Structure 1
Amino acid sequence: MTSQSPTSSSDSLSLAQLEQTQDFIRRHIGPSEAQTEAMLTDIGADSIDALIDEIVPSDIRLADLPAIGDSKTEVQALADLKAIANLNKVNTSYIGLGYYPTLTPNVILRNVLENPGWYTAYTPYQPEIAQGRLESLLNYQQMCIDLTGLPLASASLLDEGTAAAEAMALAKRVSKNKKSNLFFISEDVFPQTIDLVKQRADMFGFDVVIAPANEAPEHDIFGALIQYPSATGQVSDISELIEKIHSNKGIVAVAADIMSLVLLKAPGDLGADAVIGSSQRFGVPMGYGGPHAAFFTTSDKYKRSLPGRIIGVSKDTRGNPALRMAMQTREQHIRREKANSNICTAQVLLANMAAFYAVYHGPKGLKTIASRIHRFADILCLGTATKGLVSIHANYFDTLTFNVAALENNSKEEIVERALISGVNLRSDVDGQISVSLDETTTRSDVATLFTILLGTNHGLDVSELDEKIIACGHSSIPASLIRDTAILTHPVFNSYHSETEMLRYIKRLENKDLALNHSMISLGSCTMKLNATAQMIPVSWPEFANMHPFAPQDQVVGYKQMIDELADWLVELTGYDKVSMQPNSGAQGEYAGLIAIHKYHESRGDSHRNICLIPASAHGTNPASAMMVGMKVVVVACTKDGNVDMEDLTAKAEELRDNLSCIMITYPSTHGVYETTISEICNIIHDNGGQVYLDGANMNAQVGITSPGFIGADVSHLNLHKTFAIPHGGGGPGMGPIGVKSHLAPFLPDHSLVNIIEENQGNGAVSAAPYGSAGILPITYLYIALLGKEGVTAATKYAITNANYLVSKLSQHYPILYTDPNGRVAHECIVDLRPIKEASGVTEMDIAKRLIDYGFHSPTMSFPVAGTLMIEPTESESKVELDRFIEAMVCIRDEVRKVESGEWTLDNNPLHHAPHTLADITDANWDRAYSIADAVFPVPGVRTNKFWPTVNRIDDVYGDRNLVCSCPPIDTYID
């Protein structure tokens, strides 16, 4: 961690000192040795360790460094992980079931997936500096609207299974069959989706029936889920079925394959109320299950019930079109236990990739790709049929299913064995059947190989001859009534950027509109926007990780299994728990999975009546929403004026409710940014009254290496790998939220219907569609820990705390700090109280947040957890230089506020009120502000050298909600 002074001769340095040029710890930790000493002087601490001793309660301090090994160099860590990756065997996959090999256009791979300008951005809560990704997400919504035939789309959900579960919840909310508690699932829905929906239904208290789709009208249901095409590949006209379900007041959700919708009639045109699915095959690698963006579309009348985020078109103060997240009050961090769902993590980066894929190929290119896939399926179907192997469905898009149980001299086992010898995976989990799902990577040679696998070596079939026969006879395996007859992707954005030059420039143009970590620090409290090191990102694109199907045979994923097991062992050590589940693919899903484990634990002990969840008033907004999702009743525990849990109120409520107490959900350090000294006592009180302790892992960046949830006394936590453990936020996703549990909760961790994760969990329901969630990004966290080692992860925590206290030492001279411990210290984040400023001047927290943009910074977390405040978390990765730039900005803004307070500037004519300032402002011939153009856009000299120009002025939120538009506006609105 120490920096070395330059010397004239390397002879005076030891080998260990010379090797520090490869030391990742000092690359990750922002402040140098000299900067650290200067910061400690301002803080008033003799050393970092002395500061930590002041701040962290002694009774929860760990005696030793975590046993996770020593720090590795980047070269060594990458080489070691590459050796593990090489243990994987990447077969050609025809398994299907919602996961398909795809071709990511290199212009998108290099300039989006591998570009920190896209993957390090935060959720677009400050839309003026997120217009690029918002435009791309609007493209995504338009793409989904066009393909599904419904007018309202969200900006992505976590995966297809989650989207299906959300569709069931929507159906229950909006169905007019209020007396029904029964949800119908077609038996030919993807098995992993059925598993996830059943789990969600169980938690909601819904009944479920799984049967052939045509039996749905025979049941008194509030809703139904149908797959189109089905899991076995059948394409059928479901319009009459939907009409019958509607006549019984049921709501119909259709799970659709996005590539098939290029050729097939849109489900919305067939009567569907909601359409869900995965956009993975639009250029996103399989990644052993994720991350992938799920789509969700529905009717405009259900807009208040649509889960997730919606990007809408509004206008800025100049009346120009501007994009924002619409109806943000639907978000669970505001609505809490009244939230529609707990989707706190979308899959923005992957939605953007899918949208760019559609933009790059356009409607003609997509039709060519889809038609080619379908043509190969026709060739395969005709060829096998001529040899007596007939598909069970005459109508299909890309998937053929064969009954092979009755084949003579060609058993299922022999077919599977030939496939494996040829490096091919088929779907074979259904007795007596084999399915083959083709994709855009399929070639003529691949089809010829499939003939040999399915029929043996002497089949005598020729792909070109079969193709000519299909053309000659005009064969069509898609019914005429289901062939799409409506245009798709007619908006100019999908018809303008088909050369790589134009596409590259379009991507860059959008990137330039966004502020990400490659421009400046993003000091969002509770969101931990730390360094996402380049070395950690590299393996995500390795084919051994990127091209693996989540249901590949276990002997082909040895490398994945080794990496996941090692990572789980490290996380067990760092959390103090006994077991970790990697399945939850967001923090919200982690909360959900952890609370399910608590619920099932109580149920196993005959205590199913325990359904009360205590939640402090300071808790994360996701906590009450998660509790509601597992059928718990939320009881709020008060906080003291110091921001800590009110121990008297907690004790009284725990004792009063002890007979029905299920758990407490608490964040540590608290959301108010302090280490509460009573945390162990809180755990004991809950345990003494029969409850379990859920410790929210959002603030683990202040725990790793110096304490742990398990050591403190908690029973379960989720870990935000996209916070503490360096997975980038991706503009609002991806994320991962694995959970750690004590041994008594381990039997209740999630399993998977197609891949048994842990023997003792066999049969447990799933919380994500893939067995290990978004496994494709786990190499990032694996390398984060391997590169830092036991000393590095501990140093990261200590520096996160040091940097936060340095900010407090400087900012407290100008702003009140809302909560500190008795020593005047904070944990890894602090809350600046702007309410006195607002009362004295009329300047709002929104004004200050927007003015920070003019200084080149993303605002800290605004009005959470306390209205009228900014919560700041600098992380360990930011140097003193960057912290001082931020401090300078905040101090200058305070001086600007004083000018409003003094009357030098009026409340409606000052740089805070008009912020952020754009090029349109400074080129306006009618500039009539009370301050100069220079003060508007170059408020401090440093801004001139690294100016970020927002492309829109402040956006009108109210207008955007009152005039909801979530599809692409006419192209002329984009023209300056």
Structure 2
Amino acid sequence: MRTDSFALRHIGPRESELKEMLQTIGVDSLEQLIYETIPDDIRLKSPLNLPVALSENQYAEHIGKLSAKNKVFKSYIGLGYHQAILPAVIQRNILENPGWYTAYTPYQAEIAQGRLEALLNFQTMVSDLTGMEIANASLLDESTAAAEAMALLHAVRDRKQKKENINKFFVSEETLPQTISLLSTRADFLGIELVIGEHKNFDFSSDFFGVLLQYPGKFGEVHNYSSFIANCKEAEIKVAVAADILSLVKLQAPGELGVDVVVGTTQRFGIPLGYGGPHAAYFATKEEYKRNLPGRIIGVTKDVDGNNALRMALQTREQHIKRDKATSNICTAQVLLAVMAGMYAVYHGPEGLQYIADTVHYSATNLSAELVKLGFEQVNSVYFDTIQVKAKAEAVKKIAEENEINFYYPDTETVSIAINEATSLEDVNDIIAVFAKVAGKEAEPLKELLQNTVIPTEIQRKKEFLTHEVFNSYRSETELMRYIKKLERKDLSLNHSMISLGSCTMKLNAASEMLPLSNPQWGNIHPFAPVEQAEGYQVVLKRLEEYLTEITGFSATSLQPNSGAQGEYAGLMVIRAYQESRGEGHRDICLIPSSAHGTNPASAVMAGMKVIVTKASENGNIDVEDLREKAIKHKDNLAALMVTYPSTHGVFESAIKEITDIIHDNGGQVYMDGANMNAQVGLTNPGAIGADVCHLNLHKTFAIPHGGGGPGVGPICVAEQLKPFLPGNPVIKTGGEKAIGAISSAPWGSALVCLISYGYIRMLGTKGIRKATEYAILNANYLKERLNEHYKTLYSGERGRAAHEMIIDCRPFKVNGIEVTDIAKRLIDYGFHAPTVSFPVAGTVMIEPTESESKAELDRFCEALISIRKEIGETSAEDENNVLKNAPHTLQMLTSDEWNLPYNREKAAYPLEYVRENKFWPSVRRVDEAFGDRNLMCTCPPTEEYAEA
């Protein structure tokens, strides 16, 4: 046995267990199982052309050598990205802790109270600093958050504006260039006309429904927007502001000026640059817009005993439920990064943030004064951290880069310098020395920072912030470490047990893949640094694109989309650009089978398409004749089919090539949703089924951790004809020759976590990556057969096999008074996170074990579900007081002096013997969803306010 084989460590079942698992399934070999699962005509005839697998040690050496190719200069580029200092206590206890990074989105609130509290802290921090009433629990990046703000303001136009079709949106020319590019991409198919100009010349015309301002502006100037915003209100034009969150410690909160939305990024709060991401964006607005707020909101509610509890409010899985009527297609937030940013505020508190912001500002004002002494003109009169210096850009650039310093050069006569938290007095003197050399003068080094400010009193912040106890209690590392651990203990993550969520692929996130993320050679590269300084990144990203292109059977890949839903949108936008280039821009019909992934309809609508749903047959497959009929009916305007393969029902449909041919014959393109790619890699691919574009979830199939609900990466892979249209970036050239506009803020999206997927592919290699897929299918079918006598599997392939996931039907248990939710909550008592509940079919659970789970863990899970099935048999519709309806059972309940339930404590807490060895205690009982929505509370309230609600 090669104990240095990564595949041996990544894949759960041992070779010695394979025979028994195959016997249970009823096949003689793994090859037979794959033959019975995947249709013959789409199986790959030859192995993937990927590198030979590296051992974990070899990979560590390899990635270390690549990191050394990156040149980590001091970057003062700004443009929405600034080096920040990640406190070691947060790095060690959150970023590097699988208790935090392997958790899933908190859909099961009872076992996610730690994450939910950390996100409530984040929301409170954002609301306090922006001066807004309500904030969400993070978005993908600043530019996409700005686009969501534009969409929200468009959606909440008053009746008169809607009736008169008021569709103009003004964007200040001082907005970040990547945001303007992304807004242009989004506006095209939303019927919004962008007008970009100088805010001082805005005419407050009734033709506009909204405006976007940057605060401070992209090159640092801080404007007093109070009269501008007042004029907008008078003209009934709504206002969004993209604000630098650290500057809000010093500047008046936008909410005090009466704006409607504030967006931005929290990257400055301790998150590594990471060549562009992942970073948690924020979105804050008025209470009246809460039902239009994109993404997730964390709210306070009660559990069944009346104890305080947290849960996701209002928008829980809203894009799955509302589909094409959803407010956004956001499926992945940036939870891990939001948790880190919120904890940065907890650690530093208001006085710590004040010190950091003051130091940044004083460094900028002192630098400005010294450069003026050297004879340079400094253009910005009011600024927080960024100055603009008139100088020969080429001369400055040459000397700066010789001294390993990056500035930004807006034109040949201007140098923009953005100071950050990591800028020391020594660094300020180094900058001064560069300009002194350009001027041919000697400069006296600064010995201390004078406390000079250029922010006028009328726009200085006067209102207190972060007054809640949580931001004023944990100053020592010991205290913060214990607080983080207290929250971690309330959450069930992969470091405790299997999380078998269908469609979500909760596989191992190996330590060897994760370790490079902590290396500053990867973490401290600015996304707009000259590409020659990021040679290590360029090698990794280019190779990863090549590997993904090979795996999907396509021609090219873009890594830019930073979530699966963004990948869907990007894929559809590329299709639209291709069709426009052929004079077929009128094509706007998107066919979506009822079995497709839940975010698909929302993505199609965002891309300006009209959604037509096609039927499923009785066996859960796409109704081919219904699809053919609708494709022919709409052939003149057919843009695309969005198909999930294998289907969300967990089946490889044998008619898939016929389906893709129908679409092509009627002028459309085929978009394949890659949510279930874990069942394809190395065995078949989107190219083989006849698709034209697919997105991949790197946070599923390719081992990036879910991080409690993000980071995610959703790259798109495309066929040859779509290659020229891959998305670009206005600052660093990326994408195809006819690139569509930006899809996310950074040129390569969340580049830092792409290292994980690169490592996954390099350590598995051609054979390992195929074996991982085979074992994912093996594990799913093993579960299916073990549970067969106790639960009905809703759909199977033509030969009776599941793909990598399956749906079990819980609707028959309604006669016993048991709902699918009761089973989900009872599983907590057995130490398991529930599978995906009531999606895509109400009253069912969708189970996906992944290849990383051992046979022993699969057996424990089966024993739990079989035991629950027996418990269901003991209940009746008239009996509400049973072990399932009362689940989950907390330690507080079990240790109470009173016990008035008709079953004993042992049955409640230790239903099977294995539970005793590794008991997970939920911190609250079943939460009251309705109470939380009626009494929405989305910031950290004083304790007495909980009682009032």
Normalising by the residue count of structure 1, what TM-score does the alignment of the two structures yield? 0.95
Tell me, in whole angstroms, the C-alpha distance in 2 between the residues paired with 1:175 and 1:479: 34
**SS in structure 2 of the partner of residue 222 of structure 1:** strand
1:262-301 equivalence runs, <5 A: 262-301=249-288
Tell me, yes or no, if structure 1 residue 400 matches structure 2 residue 387. yes
Tell me, in whole angstroms, the C-alpha distance in 2 between the residues paired with 1:568 and 1:68: 12
Structure 1 contact 216–224 (Cα < 8 Å) conserved? no
Tell me, yes or no, if structure 1 residue 182 matches structure 2 residue 164. no
Which residue type is aligned with residue 168 of structure 2? L
- In the TM superposition, residue 893 of structure 1 has moved relative to its aligned partner by 0.2
Q: Deviations over 1:809-848 (max 9, x none)?
A: 011110111001232211000100000112x211000000
- In the TM superposition, residue 743 of structure 1 has moved relative to its aligned partner by 0.7
Aligned partner of 1:886 in structure 2 is 861
Aligned partner of 1:898 in structure 2 is 873
**SS in structure 2 of the partner of residue 456 of structure 1:** helix
Which residue type is aligned with residue 439 of structure 1? N
Structure 1 gaps of 5+ residues are 1-16, 405-410
Tell me, in whole angstroms, the C-alpha distance in 2 between the residues paired with 1:929 and 1:759: 65
- In the TM superposition, residue 907 of structure 1 has moved relative to its aligned partner by 2.6
Match of 1:91 among 45, 48, 73: 73
Structure 2 contact 204–235 (Cα < 8 Å) conserved? no
**SS in structure 2 of the partner of residue 185 of structure 1:** strand
Structure 1 contact 217–245 (Cα < 8 Å) conserved? no
Tell me, in whole angstroms, the C-alpha distance in 2 between the residues paired with 1:200 and 1:431: 31
Which residue type is aligned with residue 296 of structure 2? R
Structure 1 contact 85–544 (Cα < 8 Å) conserved? yes
- In the TM superposition, residue 287 of structure 1 has moved relative to its aligned partner by 0.3
Which residue type is aligned with residue 230 of structure 2? E
**SS in structure 2 of the partner of residue 416 of structure 1:** helix
- In the TM superposition, residue 192 of structure 1 has moved relative to its aligned partner by 0.7
Structure 2 contact 12–851 (Cα < 8 Å) conserved? yes
Tell me, in whole angstroms, the C-alpha distance in 1 between the residues paired with 2:397 and 2:201: 33
Q: Deviations over 1:764-785 (max 9, x none)?
A: 3000000000001011000000
Tell me, yes or no, if structure 1 residue 76 matches structure 2 residue 76. no
Aligned partner of 1:391 in structure 2 is 378
Q: Deviations over 1:38-89 (max 9, x none)?
A: 1111111101111101111000000111010221100111211221121111
**SS in structure 2 of the partner of residue 640 of structure 1:** coil
**CA 1:111–1:522: 2 relative to 1, 3 Å:** same
Structure 2 contact 425–448 (Cα < 8 Å) conserved? no
Match of 1:450 among 431, 449, 453: 431
Tell me, yes or no, if structure 1 residue 783 matches structure 2 residue 759. yes
- In the TM superposition, residue 431 of structure 1 has moved relative to its aligned partner by 4.1
- In the TM superposition, residue 454 of structure 1 has moved relative to its aligned partner by 2.1
Larger displacement relative to structure 2 (205-214 or 866-875): 205-214
Match of 1:162 among 117, 128, 144: 144
- In the TM superposition, residue 464 of structure 1 has moved relative to its aligned partner by 3.9
Match of 2:845 among 860, 870, 880: 870
Tell me, yes or no, if structure 1 residue 215 matches structure 2 residue 197. no
Which residue type is aligned with residue 359 of structure 2? R
Q: Deviations over 1:372-402 (max 9, x none)?
A: 0001011001111122212211110000012
Structure 1 contact 330–340 (Cα < 8 Å) conserved? no
**CA 1:703–1:562: 2 relative to 1, 3 Å:** same
**SS in structure 2 of the partner of residue 22 of structure 1:** coil
Aligned partner of 1:640 in structure 2 is 617
1:111-260 equivalence runs, <5 A: 111-176=93-158, 177-178=161-162, 179=164, 180-219=166-205, 220-260=207-247
1:446-525 equivalence runs, <5 A: 446-456=427-437, 459-464=441-446, 467=449, 470-471=450-451, 475-525=452-502
Aligned partner of 1:816 in structure 2 is 792
Which residue type is aligned with residue 580 of structure 1? T
Q: Deviations over 1:537-557 (max 9, x none)?
A: 011111121111000001101
Structure 1 contact 717–741 (Cα < 8 Å) conserved? yes
Q: Deviations over 1:846-873 (max 9, x none)?
A: 0000000000000000000000000000
Aligned partner of 2:650 in structure 1 is 673
Tell me, yes or no, if structure 1 residue 852 matches structure 2 residue 827. yes
Tell me, in whole angstroms, the C-alpha distance in 1 between the residues paired with 2:37 and 2:548: 24
Tell me, in whole angstroms, the C-alpha distance in 1 between the residues paired with 2:514 and 2:640: 37
- In the TM superposition, residue 465 of structure 1 has moved relative to its aligned partner by 6.0
Tell me, yes or no, if structure 1 residue 338 matches structure 2 residue 325. yes
Tell me, yes or no, if structure 1 residue 437 matches structure 2 residue 413. no
- In the TM superposition, residue 174 of structure 1 has moved relative to its aligned partner by 1.3
Tell me, in whole angstroms, the C-alpha distance in 1 between the residues paired with 2:254 and 2:281: 16
Structure 1 contact 217–241 (Cα < 8 Å) conserved? no
Structure 2 contact 374–443 (Cα < 8 Å) conserved? no
1:353-432 equivalence runs, <5 A: 353-404=340-391, 411-432=392-413
Tell me, in whole angstroms, the C-alpha distance in 1 between the residues paired with 2:647 and 2:448: 67
Which residue type is aligned with residue 342 of structure 1? N
Structure 1 contact 216–245 (Cα < 8 Å) conserved? no
**CA 1:80–1:974: 2 relative to 1, 3 Å:** farther
Aligned partner of 2:675 in structure 1 is 698
Structure 1 contact 217–244 (Cα < 8 Å) conserved? no
1:784-799 equivalence runs, <5 A: 784-799=760-775
Which residue type is aligned with residue 649 of structure 1? D
Tell me, in whole angstroms, the C-alpha distance in 1 between the residues paired with 2:108 and 2:674: 25
Tell me, yes or no, if structure 1 residue 801 matches structure 2 residue 777. yes
Structure 2 contact 561–714 (Cα < 8 Å) conserved? yes
Structure 2 contact 839–845 (Cα < 8 Å) conserved? yes
Aligned partner of 1:960 in structure 2 is 932
Structure 1 contact 399–436 (Cα < 8 Å) conserved? yes
Which residue type is aligned with residue 359 of structure 1? V
Match of 2:606 among 617, 629, 632: 629
Structure 2 contact 137–298 (Cα < 8 Å) conserved? yes
Tell me, in whole angstroms, the C-alpha distance in 2 between the residues paired with 1:576 and 1:759: 18
**SS in structure 1 of the partner of residue 875 of structure 2:** helix
**SS in structure 2 of the partner of residue 21 of structure 1:** coil
Tell me, in whole angstroms, the C-alpha distance in 1 between the residues paired with 2:481 and 2:456: 39
Note the aligned Cα RMSD (angstroms): 1.3
Aligned partner of 1:5 in structure 2 is none
**SS in structure 2 of the partner of residue 821 of structure 1:** coil
Structure 1 contact 452–459 (Cα < 8 Å) conserved? no
- In the TM superposition, residue 973 of structure 1 has moved relative to its aligned partner by 8.3
Number of aligned residue pairs: 941
Aligned partner of 2:806 in structure 1 is 830
- In the TM superposition, residue 940 of structure 1 has moved relative to its aligned partner by 0.5
- In the TM superposition, residue 974 of structure 1 has moved relative to its aligned partner by 9.6
Aligned partner of 1:843 in structure 2 is 818
Aligned partner of 2:18 in structure 1 is 36
- In the TM superposition, residue 934 of structure 1 has moved relative to its aligned partner by 0.7
**CA 1:76–1:886: 2 relative to 1, 3 Å:** same
Structure 1 contact 592–627 (Cα < 8 Å) conserved? yes
Match of 1:555 among 523, 526, 532: 532
Which residue type is aligned with residue 369 of structure 2? L
Tell me, in whole angstroms, the C-alpha distance in 2 between the residues paired with 1:330 and 1:936: 30
**SS in structure 2 of the partner of residue 569 of structure 1:** helix
Tell me, in whole angstroms, the C-alpha distance in 2 between the residues paired with 1:134 and 1:212: 41
**CA 1:330–1:51: 2 relative to 1, 3 Å:** closer
Structure 1 contact 536–783 (Cα < 8 Å) conserved? yes
Aligned partner of 1:907 in structure 2 is 879
**SS in structure 2 of the partner of residue 436 of structure 1:** strand
- In the TM superposition, residue 108 of structure 1 has moved relative to its aligned partner by 0.2
Structure 1 contact 426–435 (Cα < 8 Å) conserved? yes
- In the TM superposition, residue 643 of structure 1 has moved relative to its aligned partner by 0.2
**CA 1:923–1:264: 2 relative to 1, 3 Å:** same
Tell me, yes or no, if structure 1 residue 943 matches structure 2 residue 915. yes
Aligned partner of 2:511 in structure 1 is 534
- In the TM superposition, residue 215 of structure 1 has moved relative to its aligned partner by 2.4
Tell me, yes or no, if structure 1 residue 315 matches structure 2 residue 302. yes
Tell me, in whole angstroms, the C-alpha distance in 2 between the residues paired with 1:182 and 1:973: 42
Tell me, in whole angstroms, the C-alpha distance in 2 between the residues paired with 1:167 and 1:567: 33
